[in-house]
Structure 1
Amino acid sequence: MLLTKLYYFRSAAKFENLTKAAKELKISQPTLTKTIRLLETEIGVPLFKRFGNKIALNDKGKIFQGRCCQIIDSWEEAKREISETNDIAPINISLQVASSYFTELLERIETCQVPSALNFTQNKQDEKAEIVLSSIPTVLPLYDSQVVLEEECLLAVPKYLYDKELFDSPLSLTALENIPMISLTKEYELRQSMDDYFIKHVKKARISYEVDNPSLYRDMINRGMGIALVPRKTWKLQDNEVQLVSLEQPLKRILYIRTLKNQRDNRIIQKIRESMIQFFQELDAT
């Protein structure tokens, strides 16, 4: 059983409210709900009583809560004891792209069982990072760079707005110019790619909403609150809520994994790098 699921359960049990627990964990509520369901499936029994959006621990959940806290406390105590005698420097991993698969990616990295602490940053530049995941093709002299995934960005249209005549696939650039859209704010690489695309082909995008949180952005799309550009592979969307439309001039997003050149002989970093590459190869094959 992965520790991630136990941390998620502990937070949900503490609040007995999925919205508050997801906020504490800094994940989306659908991701938390799915993880709790997977945990209950592994155990073989439900752990919560459910009342619409509210939850409450059942008798088995209360028993499991005690054991769960013991396991997490033991794990964290073990990490503290090791860190006091561990001279291995932490490894910094910078995830500069947004994806709904990051929980699964972190779980894959966790299986490497590296002896170093792992420090993650997301959606911001980190000059200390030994490993960087990015969609910007900038050549960085200190890093080795490798393409791990190439995907097309599609227009996600709420089903209730979708009209075959208006959103004929592939969608013409002329039609795209007149569509009000929701978007991430400008510090995100996906927004930067979108802006570059519009400057090149359509002059300027019509932005109706700007969102500074990728999870909220995905939720707004899934709830049919607006039209948006989304990556085909790395973003999970609810097919029953949105219609994906290809563009006349495709917008491609390429993901790169970069590792510091002076760490080529670091077996721990190379092990993490290989696990990340394998993860995206499997995602690309689905």
Structure 2
Amino acid sequence: MELLQLEYFQTVARLQHMTKAAEELQIAQPSLSKTISRLEEDLGVPLFDRTGRQIRLNAYGEAFLARVQRAFVELNEGKREIRDLARLNEDIVTLAVSTPRILPGLLGAFLASHPDVRFRQFFESAPEMKRQIENGEVDFCISSAAIEGIDIEWRPLLTEEIFLIVPSNHPLAVRESIRLAEVKDEPFISMNAGYEFRELTDRLCREAGFVPHIHFAGDEPDVIAGLVQQGLGVAFVPALTWLEWPRRASHRLRIEEPACQRQLGIAWSERRYFSTAAERFRVFAFAYFRDVAKRLVREFG
């Protein structure tokens, strides 16, 4: 059994199509078919069910694919460890996040004391980050949704309050707090569907007994804040984002009911080999967010 056979098997299993797999691998289809057949002969069982030109991974193939994927993860981790021992990649940290607004402060603070470290960053959804962790593509994921799976460690970093902001001339601007149900008829300005924060705020509205009327949806918090300031609607804002905004022409309201908060956490694979830089970043991240939590307490009580 050769690594090339396993790589070809992974591709065929992913595409479930011999011709497409051959095109992606840039080899002739007969050669690919022979390679898969030899692999099946070595194992003593078929890995695919074949009906005419159609192929489908069978129970044997699914079980073997899971083992093959884990084997390649281990091989890649071994390569990373050797490269680190040879000092070829010790200054690179790969990071996926679902809340990119935390990056400037976090990375800026870390790089101030570790200027030689380089970061590769990805902005992804929680399911995609889980896949990246499982496949060994990233060192860490920071998300507001817990990432769970075999050999995945997820630990909380920070719990932050979520506020509602209204235009400064809004009738509610004379208040300090509200129940969320009080704004059920208001036009909402929100993040686009698919963002973790949008999913969270939609859930909070459902808990309060209503579905929000979304008058505008976007992916730029600063634009959302600007639209609120222009009197076009109300919006949710996390505590950290509120602190970062230089101008506050809108009014912040604490939400009494339901409890509105989100938890940021960091995830990694327990099978992952960490470079010196990655291990330092993990330690630093916990300390950084402890300081941020203290700052939030000072600001909001």
TM-score (norm 1): 0.61
Q: Which amino acid in 2 is paired with 1:120?
A: Q
- Counterparts of 2:97 and 2:278 in 1: how far apart (Å)? 15
- Counterparts of 1:224 and 1:123 in 2: how far apart (Å)? 31
Cα deviations by residue, 1:146-172 (Å, 9 ceiling, x for unpaired): 1111111010111122435xx744322
Residue in 1 that maps onto 2:29: none
Counterparts in 2 of 1:142 and 1:232: CA distance versus 1, 3 Å: same
- Counterparts of 1:262 and 1:112 in 2: how far apart (Å)? 28
- Counterparts of 1:250 and 1:268 in 2: how far apart (Å)? 38
- Counterparts of 1:225 and 1:274 in 2: how far apart (Å)? 43
Q: Which amino acid in 2 is paired with 1:179?
A: E
- Counterparts of 1:141 and 1:263 in 2: how far apart (Å)? 13
Q: Do the aligned residues in 2 keep the contact of 1:98 with 1:123 (CA within 8 Å)?
A: no
Q: Which has the higher helix share?
A: 2
Deviation of 1:228 (Å): 0.4
Deviation of 1:284 (Å): 1.5
Counterparts in 2 of 1:140 and 1:170: CA distance versus 1, 3 Å: farther
Counterparts in 2 of 1:179 and 1:98: CA distance versus 1, 3 Å: farther
**2:248 is equivalent to residue 246 of structure 1:** no
| Structure with greater Cα Rg | 2
Deviation of 1:131 (Å): 0.7
Cα deviations by residue, 1:44-74 (Å, 9 ceiling, x for unpaired): xxxxxxxxxxxxxxxxxxxxxxxxxxxxxxx
Equivalent of 2:202 in 195, 199, 203? 195
Residue in 2 that maps onto 1:93: 95
- Counterparts of 1:116 and 1:98 in 2: how far apart (Å)? 19
Deviation of 1:142 (Å): 3.3
Identity of aligned residues (%): 17
Residue in 2 that maps onto 1:278: 287
Counterparts in 2 of 1:267 and 1:218: CA distance versus 1, 3 Å: farther
Counterparts in 2 of 1:197 and 1:206: CA distance versus 1, 3 Å: same
- The answer for unaligned runs of 5 or more in structure 2 is 1-85, 296-301
Cα deviations by residue, 1:204-231 (Å, 9 ceiling, x for unpaired): 1111100023343344445554310011
Equivalent of 2:167 in 142, 158, 161? 158
Cα deviations by residue, 1:227-256 (Å, 9 ceiling, x for unpaired): 100111344235641211122212111000
Q: Do the aligned residues in 1 keep the contact of 2:229 with 2:249 (CA within 8 Å)?
A: yes
Q: CA RMSD in A?
A: 2.7
The within-5 A match list for 1:195-274 is 195-221=202-228, 225-235=232-242, 236-238=244-246, 240-247=248-255, 248-263=257-272, 266-274=275-283
Q: Which amino acid in 1 is paired with 2:239?
A: R
Cα deviations by residue, 1:253-279 (Å, 9 ceiling, x for unpaired): 100011221236543212111222222
Deviation of 1:182 (Å): 0.2
- Counterparts of 1:256 and 1:234 in 2: how far apart (Å)? 17
What is the count of residue pairs matched by the alignment? 199
Q: Do the aligned residues in 1 keep the contact of 2:204 with 2:258 (CA within 8 Å)?
A: no
Q: Do the aligned residues in 1 keep the contact of 2:147 with 2:154 (CA within 8 Å)?
A: no
